[in-house]
Amino acid sequence: MIKMSLLVRSSAAMILMLIGANAAMSDTCRSELEGRAATLLVPHKPGGGYDNYARAIAPVLSDLTGLRVRVVNNSAGGGVVARELMLAASDDSLTMLIESAGSLSDELAQVSNQQNLLELMDVLGIVHRSPHAWVLGEGLDIYDTSLTNLVAARGTLDDSHISVTLAGMALGIETEVVGGYGGSSEFVSAVLREEVDFTTVSFQTALRRTKGNEAHVALVLSDRPNSDAPDVPYLAGPGGVVLTRAAGLSDEEIERRTQFAEMVVTLSGSIRGIYISNAVSLETRDCLRQAMTESLLSDALSRSLADLGRPLDPLTGDAAIALLTQLIEARGKATPLLAQFSR
């Protein structure tokens, strides 16, 4: 089972992380990085979530390591150009990228049939993980079993297979997707105008985007309540919406829906990580990983992000690598099913 495997391995990784948490940067690495210039690329326009994280991390990384880190936004090609710049970096130009693991993996699969992003780039640390969430219009209740057909607003159709189509199958809801909307604001606007019934965005974004209007975060695509909003129903596992809605159905159907729900939980989350090209030497990458670990676990960063209202949920070192490896394996297993939706 994907989920069990993920839990066990994540726990092991967490232990590894805690062991390494107090390990400060070695003196060799400190002298290796001292005074050097580095770039943290943001593949989005200034002002949003990724930009906030990058601008909070950069000064902390600079203060702790002596690196001179600048933040550069480059949203060209929907983030593809920033990824290429990062991949083309060398030891001379320390270019890091902050991006969602899912987006990177999808881009690589589309552009170069490269499924395993870790063959091309290394993860220096994960800043935050956020599950996806369903935002429903006013008056719609996710527990209402008469809801069997819903229309969702999304950007591109390929982007909707997991969090809309597969999640809908887990809930026993037939979903239709209207693609072409431009970003989370537009998704939620479409829900407010009642031209669609729901949309999916990352949980943190959902909380922000529904703060000032009548749409509501109806479902978090995880297998447990989220600590930021414990009252929001969750998808999978005991107490989840899938099992509640499936009450009274055959065991076979419940098993099928449960499997879909577990796939959604594993695959749909947004994992914000910091990456660097494997073309950079292993020694330099290790030093940067140490520097990033120290920064992500520092009080200074946690204070800075708290001021910005952005949650910090760091995963460093081997734990970050392990989590990404699992995500990639799960994507590989789900590919045949997702390919059916594309047809």
Tokens of 50: 């990724």
Residues 305-324 that bind another protein (CB under 8 A): 307-309
Residue 114 binds to another protein (criterion: CB under 8 A): no
Contact status: 332 vs another protein (CB under 8 A): no
Q: Which stretch binds another protein (CB under 8 A): 211-219, 230-238, 262-270, 279-287?
A: 211-219
Which stretch in 128-136, 157-165, 237-245, 274-282 sits in contact with another protein by CB under 8 A?
157-165
Give, in order, the Cα–Cα distances in Å from 182 to each of 24, 78, 99, 320: 43, 12, 19, 31
Contact 234, 223 (CB under 8 A): yes
Pairing of strands 149-153, 198-202: parallel
Task: Tell me whether residue 259 or residue 284 sits nearer to another protein (CB atom).
Answer: 284
Q: Measured from the CB atom, is 26 or 149 closer to another protein?
A: 149
159 lines the binding site for another protein (CB under 8 A): yes
Per CB under 8 A, 213 contacts another protein: yes
Q: Is 99 helix (H, G, I), strand (E, B) or coil?
A: strand
Does residue 180 interact with another protein by CB under 8 A?
Answer: yes
- Binding window for another protein (CB under 8 A); candidates: 90-98, 123-131, 164-172, 232-240: 90-98
Contact in structure between 254 and 243 (CB atoms under 8 Å): yes
**Antiparallel, parallel or unpaired: β 37-42 and 94-100:** parallel
Identity of the residue, 130 or 316, whose beta carbon is nearer to another protein in the bound complex: 130
Residue in 51, 63, 318, 329 binding another protein, rule: CB under 8 A: 51
Binding footprint of another protein, residue count (CB under 8 A): 59
What are 261's two structure tokens?
A: 């729900």
**Distance between CA 29 and CA 102 in Å, rounded?**
30
Q: Least separation, in Å, of the C-beta of 205 and another protein?
A: 11
Q: Does 5 bind another protein (CB under 8 A)?
A: no
Which of 26, 31, 90, 148 touches another protein (CB under 8 A)?
Answer: 90
Nearest distance from residue 263's CB to another protein, in Å?
22
Helix (H, G, I), strand (E, B) or coil at 308: helix
Locate 156 and state its tokens: 């591109």
Rg, C-alpha atoms of the chain: 20
Binding window for another protein (CB under 8 A); candidates: 22-30, 126-134, 136-144, 179-187: 179-187
Tell me the window of 20-28, 35-43, 224-232, 274-282 that interacts with another protein (CB under 8 A): 35-43
CA atoms within 13 A on the CB side of 24: 5
Please report which residue ranges of the chain form alpha helices under DSSP H: 2-21, 27-33, 49-65, 80-87, 101-112, 167-171, 184-192, 203-209, 241-245, 251-267, 282-296, 299-308, 317-342
Sole binder of another protein in the list 21, 80, 120, 328 (CB under 8 A): 80
**15 lines the binding site for another protein (CB under 8 A):** no
Tokens of 336: 């045949």
Q: How far apart are CA 16 and CA 321, in angstroms?
A: 11
Report the residue from 14, 21, 157, 249 that binds another protein according to the rule CB under 8 A.
157
Which residues neighbour 165 within 8 Å (Cβ) at sequence distance 6 or greater?
Answer: 175, 177, 341
User: Cα separation of 272 and 52, whole Å?
Assistant: 12
118 binds another protein (CB under 8 A): no
Question: Residues in the site for another protein, rule: CB under 8 A?
Answer: 37, 39, 41, 45-48, 51-52, 55-56, 70-78, 80-81, 84-85, 88, 90, 92-93, 95, 111, 151, 155-159, 176, 178-182, 185-186, 188-190, 192-193, 195-196, 208-209, 211-213, 307-309
